[in-house]
Amino acid sequence: MSLNEKIGKILGIEEEKISPFFADLSDVKKENAVPRGRVINVFVTIQAEGELIIRHEGGEDITLATVGDKKYPIILHEKLTSSMRRKMLELLRRDYSANKEEINKIRGKNDDWDCSLRPFSSTKKEEERMGGLCGECPNCMEFGFAVKEEGSFNLKSRIEGDLHIATEPEQKSVVVRTFNAVDEVTKTTFIQGEGERTGALFRLSLVREGTIFVGKVVMKDVSPAEFLLSLYSLASTSRVGAVTSDFGKISVHIPAIIFSSYEVSSGYDLHRRAGIEGLNNLDEINRKINSYLDGFKKNHVLITSDDIAKKVLDELTVNGTISHDVVKEAWMNGVNFRKGIKLFIREKK
């Protein structure tokens, strides 16, 4: 079964209806270097399966947004992206160790491939800087990367997204707990003195388990393999936020996908207009999202389901991980995309 057929089966739609929304990266084409209005809107509902610590960089409190006259916890797209990206790298590494020679042939390189999200600072030594993003794998080609010394271009992410907003307000979805400072968590709140730690107890705001967030992830100009790889990574993302050793367990659900030439609706739009505000039942929320998005059916290609995430995992999991066919094609697509960009840049000079 080709990947296009697989997508048709997962989404329950004829291939011809959605094929215009995918990039053809089966060959090197410089046209692929620029966006061509092929937008896949993936609507997600994220349920907290334990307590979550979701905060801004450096901040201590939970990230909240005001919608209407109430405050709701939110998950910023960048937080979800970093979890999704780490998940994708895990999948790629696992596939690579089982199919090293084949992937190296696609790469056209014999050195060991490595790519990680290790943040680097310009003040660090050269060795530490080298350990970051590789700039060649499907993860880098989809999510983008910043130029390295020897590189010739920066790449912007083709995966975007907006706010994921809790359906229940702060009063119902946030709980404040007191922890003892000997706990693992307190690394973040220790007051560092001369080797001393002060403050034995501290309080932390957490998103209550069971809280549901609604939002959207957007994939632009991706190939069928890239679509499946990122959808699988999203569907299997299981932690988000800070201190994920103790907190952050989530499950990701996908009630709907809209294929269009532009971004349709958003987490905010659903929150305000789909009648889900204040609800806390996942099935009911997914049904409300489906019926609200039905209004877009006339002008766009709409797929609704009780959970596309579950179908993606069911359909693509082989021996406990993502099918090698998907990963292999995503590597080939990434290499072609990269070469296409290089051609495009050379021509513009």
**Would you count residue 335 as binding Zn ion (CB under 5 A)?**
no
* The pair of three-digit structure tokens given for residue 284, joined into one six-digit string: 């009911």
Rounded to 5°, the CA angle 262-266-270 comes to 135
Torsion (CA) 95, 46, 165, 183 in degrees, nearest 10: -80
Find how far residue 89's CA is from the centre of its chain.
12
Binding segment toward Zn ion, per CB under 5 A, in 56-64, 72-80, 108-116, 292-300: 108-116
Torsion (CA) 329, 261, 340, 343 in degrees, nearest 10: 180
Binding segment toward Zn ion, per CB under 5 A, in 10-18, 135-143, 301-309, 340-348: 135-143
What single string gives the DSSP state of each residue in 255-267?
EEEEEESS----H
Q: From the CB of 146, what's the least distance to Zn ion, in Å?
A: 12
Q: From the CB of 141, what's the least distance to Zn ion, in Å?
A: 8
How many residues of this chain bind Zn ion (CB under 5 A)? Answer: 6
**Would you count residue 243 as binding Zn ion (CB under 5 A)?**
no
**Would you count residue 134 as binding Zn ion (CB under 5 A)?**
yes
Q: From the CB of 92, what's the least distance to Zn ion, in Å?
A: 8
Q: Looking at beta carbons, which residue is closest to Zn ion? A: 115
Tell me the three state secondary structure of residue 339.
helix
| Residue 62 DSSP label | B
The contacts of residue 22 (CB under 8 Å, 6+ apart) are: 4, 38, 222, 223, 224, 227
User: For Zn ion, which is the closer residue by CB, 96 or 213?
Assistant: 96
Q: Which of 91, 115, 274, 302 binds Zn ion (CB under 5 A)?
A: 115
User: For Zn ion, which is the closer residue by CB, 139 or 205?
Assistant: 139
Binding segment toward Zn ion, per CB under 5 A, in 30-38, 128-136, 262-270, 302-310: 128-136
User: For Zn ion, which is the closer residue by CB, 14 or 149?
Assistant: 149
**Would you count residue 140 as binding Zn ion (CB under 5 A)?**
yes
Q: What is the 3-state secondary structure (H, E, C) of 66-82?
A: EECCEEEEEECHHHHHH
Q: Which of 18, 25, 67, 137 binds Zn ion (CB under 5 A)?
A: 137
116, 92 contact by CB (below 8 A): no
User: Which residues of the chain form contacts with Zn ion (CB under 5 A)?
Assistant: 115, 133-134, 137, 139-140
